[in-house]
Amino acid sequence: MSVYFYGCVTLDGYLADKAHRLDWLHETGTTEDTGYDRFYRQMDVTIMGRRTFREIESLDSPESVYPTTQNYVFTHDGALPCAGFTPVSGNVPDFVETLGREKNIWVVGGNTILAPLLEQDMVDHIILQIAPVLLGDGVPLFTQKEALRRFRLEGVKQYGPFAELAYAKA
């Protein structure tokens, strides 16, 4: 099993603005400007929180966003309004352990899912794209408890206005 975080933040480290919106990202570029397609083809599972899922369900055809992966949403809701997404609840690291050793798991979006995995030292790869935007305030990417975690730099790329840093667990 390999657990990946793949996502984009602002220069000042925010995933979303104070209202949990991604307008700043959509106004900066598209996935076609990045290595997203190549990355996604390697994934078996996506896991995300309810706030991230809200962004997806607001799209025209949310069921087409992640068509080839098993998609899980951590939520207290018993059902979700679109096909292709399964609601789950409970402890994030415990759930990830149940997914199987042969799976590539992508943590989509927020720190609510990422932080407990970092705390349990379960994140193997961080692929972080940085957008040339300063928000000044918003939802930070890293909120895990204080603990030293080391990663090694595997690559640096430029995709249009985005800088991409790829790290693996040291």
Number of neighbours of residue 140 by Cβ within 10 angstroms: 15
- Local structure of 63: helix, strand or coil: helix
User: Per residue, what are the HEC states of 87-135?
Assistant: EECCCHHHHHHHCCCCCEEEECCCHHHHHHHHHCCCCCEEEEEEECCCC
| Fold assignment, 2-169 | Dihydrofolate Reductase, subunit A (3.40.430)
Mean pLDDT of the chain: 91
Determine the pLDDT at residue 17.
93
Q: Using one digit for the tens of pLDDT, what is the confidence trace for 22-61?
A: 889 888 877 666 788 999 999 999 999 998 998 888 888 8
In this prediction, residues 1-13 reach a mean pLDDT of: 94
Determine the pLDDT at residue 132.
95
- Six token digits for residue 20: 């949990």
In this prediction, residues 92-106 reach a mean pLDDT of: 94
C-alpha span between 95 and 47 (Å, rounded): 10
C-alpha span between 25 and 147 (Å, rounded): 29
Determine the pLDDT at residue 43.
97
pLDDT surpassing 80 at residue 168: yes
In this prediction, residues 145-156 reach a mean pLDDT of: 92
pTM of the model: 0.91
Q: Using one digit for the tens of pLDDT, what is the confidence trace for 101-126?
A: 899 999 997 889 999 999 999 999 99
Conformational region of residue 164, where left means phi above 0, alpha means psi within -120 to 50, and beta covers everything else: beta
pLDDT surpassing 90 at residue 72: yes
The vertex-120 CA angle with 115 and 123, nearest 5°, equals 70
Residues of the chain with pLDDT > 70, as a percent, come to: 98
Ordered alpha helix ranges (H), the chain: 23-26, 36-41, 50-57, 92-98, 111-119
pLDDT surpassing 90 at residue 63: no
pLDDT tier, 100 (very low <50, low <70, confident <90, very high otherwise): confident
Name the residue ranges covered by the structural domains of the chain: 2-169
Amino acid identity of residue 157, one-letter, is K
